[in-house]
Structure 1
């Protein structure tokens, strides 16, 4: 069975919305887009490169996949991250997307995410990684399908925006396997799931 690992940038008050650009995600009138850029450094880049060096496939929700497609599809700039993103098999879970042809090596998982991803996870193949896609992460966490979290915890609060866990989440325990502080105050924390309880019906 494949494993599923999530990499997520999060503020001290749990916000995950609009990390990279002012216009990245303004839903709900979110005014703080681009909050993560001030905290990038070589330590963070090295840690993220470490993850990219491992073989694996990627998993997206529709909105994040469409946003990434605009930035990465067909791009050729010699950046190792670009090469990794375009070469990887990318699964996109969606109930509304018609096809996934806009970005090379993308495969559409049509229907309920918890069901389609559980079926994918049960099949032989590479491990799966998720970058962003908070709504998808919440659904998979509730279904007990997330095995690992890499949380990049940024030293600020925003007071507004979508949180990593908006609404109830089942009791789930994790063990900290590693942590790395950056020069900009970000803590990169690696967690493995050790126990979980199914969500109440």
Structure 2
């Protein structure tokens, strides 16, 4: 069974949207990861690449990342990886050309079926709403988080506020950096 891994930047109060800022960002505190930049705190992103065999996005994150990452030197290693977009609304003709093989999945059940196929880890970047949906469905196996020492108040949150059974996490790895950023890798206990 393939692992489904969420990777992302998160504020201490759980906000995951608009970490990089820039055009199209709706969060008024967009760009919150740029404060006190420390390269070793971002080393996790390079480490993940060795485990990444496919990428999964929600529709909005795909539409934001695909045209930029396709031509980005920083994301060149992702170019030919298989990509999946979980969306009930994205038309097939909206897929970005020249960014490797991309498949639209129309339901969480299709994500569950993908996890049953041969291959390695599938990483979710951005896509907070998709991650919440897949977490609520019991499909996420691991969380790779860089937690930034900032409280944002409003914004999209990674974890659901639904009244549901608790889900235990096991700390696999952690590290604290001098700028206050924490790297935490949690495995979902089943």
* TM-score, length of structure 2 as denominator length: 0.90
Answer yes or no: is the 8 Å Cα contact 2:51–2:121 preserved in 1.
Answer: no
CA-CA distance at 1:22 after TM superposition: 3.8
Q: 1:20 corresponds to which residue?
A: 20
| SS of equivalent to 1:164 | coil
CA-CA distance at 1:45 after TM superposition: 2.8
**Alignment partner of 1:159 out of 126, 129, 153:** 153
Q: Unmatched 5+ residue regions in structure 1? A: 196-201
**Alignment partner of 1:93 out of 86, 102, 126:** 86
Q: Residues 173-197 of structure 1, C-alpha deviation per residue, up to 9 Å, x if partnerless? A: 01101101123210000101113xx
The number of residue pairs the alignment matches comes to 187
| SS of equivalent to 2:23 | coil
Q: Unmatched 5+ residue regions in structure 2? A: none
| SS of equivalent to 2:159 | coil
CA-CA distance at 1:33 after TM superposition: 1.1
Q: Does 1:178 align with 2:173?
A: yes
Q: Does 1:37 align with 2:64?
A: no
Q: Does 1:123 align with 2:120?
A: no
Q: Residues 138-173 of structure 1, C-alpha deviation per residue, up to 9 Å, x if partnerless? A: 011001010000111110101111111243154210
Q: Does 1:11 align with 2:11?
A: yes
Answer yes or no: is the 8 Å Cα contact 1:13–1:159 preserved in 2.
Answer: yes
RMSD over aligned Cα, in angstroms? 1.7
Answer yes or no: is the 8 Å Cα contact 1:142–1:170 preserved in 2.
Answer: no
Answer yes or no: is the 8 Å Cα contact 2:174–2:184 preserved in 1.
Answer: yes
Q: 1:198 corresponds to which residue?
A: none
Farther-moved stretch of structure 1 (100-109 vs 155-164) = 100-109
CA-CA distance at 1:89 after TM superposition: 1.3
